[in-house]
């Protein structure tokens, strides 16, 4: 109890500090798409209309469960619920990194604090933080996995085997990309294992590591099949063409520093082999992702390498200049990461970078305009699963007509559209493929819907009002 009370002030300070870059980016118009979707689903599940029924699978489950629980406990906050989770998990992870360096690594208090500060200021860490609890939990799971396989090589104890299994389970249940990390780890687990464990039972060793992940994934697939929800399509994203040069620049942000930290233990195999396995796991997942397109942003795909770096510096050989070299390595990594993220071709990461630099991100005011127009109006039919940003910004979600309401379901199943207002996106024809209201009533996109007239329009949104004939 004394240890918890002593660490609580540090946790609160870190939590509030990590909220600052999130609030700054939000003030400049940036909130990641995943944060919006996660927050929207949590709001709808807890505070939405009683008849609301979600048609999308709630994957990945761990961030959704945490978001729904926090939304229910807090009753809703002005700060996005995923931001609170990101900051809390991030603060917890930084404290664990400090403890690992200071207590287990024997590094001085000052150097441990500076090292953790450099890791927290690394643009890859801040980008993960802004992406929401999915990416933060993936980073934490990777750290647990990397730390666990080193300890497993050293001791061969069951608790360390459980750490590895828990780390893999966390990444698998936190992010679709975590499944690739598990696949990437498969060949390297042999590299990390103690020779005696492989001699005893190599198959049993791998089963012990991966059984929790396989069981969890199969359970999710079974539940998805029972409830007829589309889980598999949620595991991949639209492929984005990224030139080789951009891949190399992005990899240059973290990979060289992590590789140096791993190979510094070249003469100590019981350190180097498991660290090399963790390094290879992230690289393997990145390579698989380039083919399978599970994570469209390469910055987020290579970000778990930061956890490998955090583990590797703890095992830096205890030489005279150990601590200055660690700080210099992390400082150089910060500079390289900054240059790496500036070259990212993905629009969302570029927008985040500009927002953090103080530039306004265009487009967010368009949703605020339509929400202001709808203020005080009732009976607004909208596809909230395809337009989640409406949920997080509208004042009274009980005024929405959503899936599960009779008016909504009747209209989309072939009945007459009777909603007082209809809100759809004002974009190109390709939106019709996703927005279920536009797909059912394509005449809305051309303003030729009988009994409805357009009463609001901007570059992003259109609102139609029912006209009694």
Distance, in Å, from the CA atom of 142 to the CA atom of 254, rounded to the nearest integer, reads: 15
User: Residue 60: how many CA atoms within 13 Å on its side-chain side?
Assistant: 28
Domain boundaries, the chain: 2-356, 364-466
2: pLDDT strictly greater than 50: no
Chain mean pLDDT for the chain? 88
Q: Between 121 and 342, whose confidence is greater? A: 121
1: pLDDT strictly greater than 50: no
234: pLDDT strictly greater than 60: no
The total of other beta-carbon atoms located within 10 Å of residue 160's CB is: 18
What order of strands is seen across the sheet that includes strand 380-381? 400-401, 380-381, 421-425, 461-466, 452-457
The total of other beta-carbon atoms located within 10 Å of residue 466's CB is: 17
pTM of the model: 0.92
pLDDT band of residue 314 (cuts 50, 70, 90) is: very high
User: Of the given ranges (57-66, 109-118, 177-186, 406-415), which has the lowest mean pLDDT?
Assistant: 57-66
Q: Is 94 helix (H, G, I), strand (E, B) or coil?
A: helix
Distance, in Å, from the CA atom of 461 to the CA atom of 454, rounded to the nearest integer, reads: 11
CA 312 and chain centroid, separation: 23
Distance, in Å, from the CA atom of 281 to the CA atom of 294, rounded to the nearest integer, reads: 16
pLDDT tens figures, 52-69:
777 666 778 899 999 999
- In the prediction, which pLDDT does 230 show? 56
- Token duo for residue 346: 């993905």
Is 169 within 8 Å of 218 (Cβ atoms)? no
- In the prediction, which pLDDT does 428 show? 62
């Amino acid at each position: 109890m004394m240890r918890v009370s002593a660490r609580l002030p540090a946790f609160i300070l870190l939590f509030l500090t990590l909220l600052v870059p999130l609030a700054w980016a939000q003030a400049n118009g940036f909130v990641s798409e995943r944060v919006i979707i996660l927050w929207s689903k949590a709001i709808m599940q807890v505070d939405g209309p009683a008849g609301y029924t979600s048609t999308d699978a709630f994957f990945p489950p761990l961030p959704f469960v945490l978001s729904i629980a926090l939304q229910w406990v807090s009753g809703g906050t002005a700060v996005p619920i995923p931001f609170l989770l990101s900051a809390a998990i991030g603060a917890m992870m930084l404290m664990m990194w400090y403890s690992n360096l200071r207590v287990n690594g024997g590094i001085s208090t000052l150097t441990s604090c500076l090292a953790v500060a450099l890791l927290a200021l690394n643009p890859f860490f801040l980008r993960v933080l802004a992406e929401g609890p999915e990416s933060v939990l993936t980073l934490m799971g990777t750290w647990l996995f990397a730390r666990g396989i080193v300890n497993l090589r050293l001791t061969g104890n069951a608790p360390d085997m459980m750490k590895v299994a828990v780390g893999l389970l966390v990444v698998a249940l936190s992010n679709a990309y975590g499944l690739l990390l598990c696949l990437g780890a498969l060949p390297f687990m042999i590299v990390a294992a103690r020779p005696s464990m492989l001699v005893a039972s190599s198959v049993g060793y791998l089963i012990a590591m991966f059984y929790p992940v396989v069981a969890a994934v199969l359970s999710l697939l079974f539940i998805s099949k029972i409830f007829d929800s589309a889980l598999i399509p949620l595991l991949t994203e639209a492929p984005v063409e990224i030139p080789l040069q951009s891949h190399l620049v992005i990899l240059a942000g973290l990979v060289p520093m992590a590789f140096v930290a791993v190979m510094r233990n070249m003469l100590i195999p019981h350190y180097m082999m498991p660290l090399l396995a963790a390094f290879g796991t992230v690289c393997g997942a990145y390579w698989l992702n380039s083919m399978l397109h599970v994570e469209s942003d390469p910055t987020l795909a290579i970000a778990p390498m930061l956890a490998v770096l955090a583990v590797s510096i703890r095992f830096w050989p205890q030489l005279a200049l150990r601590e200055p070299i660690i700080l210099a390595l992390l400082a150089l990594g910060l500079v390289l990461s900054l240059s790496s993220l500036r070259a990212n071709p993905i629009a969302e990461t570029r927008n985040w970078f500009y927002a953090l630099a103080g530039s306004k991100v265009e487009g967010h005011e368009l949703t605020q305009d339509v929400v202001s127009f709808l203020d005080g109006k009732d009976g607004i039919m909208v596809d909230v699963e395809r337009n989640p940003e409406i949920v997080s910004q509208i004042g009274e979600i009980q005024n929405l007509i959503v899936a599960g309401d009779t008016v909504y379901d009747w209209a989309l199943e072939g009945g007459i559209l009777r909603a007082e207002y209809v809100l759809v996106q004002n974009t190109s024809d390709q939106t019709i493929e996703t927005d279920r209201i536009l797909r059912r009533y394509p005449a809305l996109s051309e303003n030729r819907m009988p009994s409805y007239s357009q009463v609001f329009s901007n570059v992003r949104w259109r609102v139609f009002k029912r006209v009694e004939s």
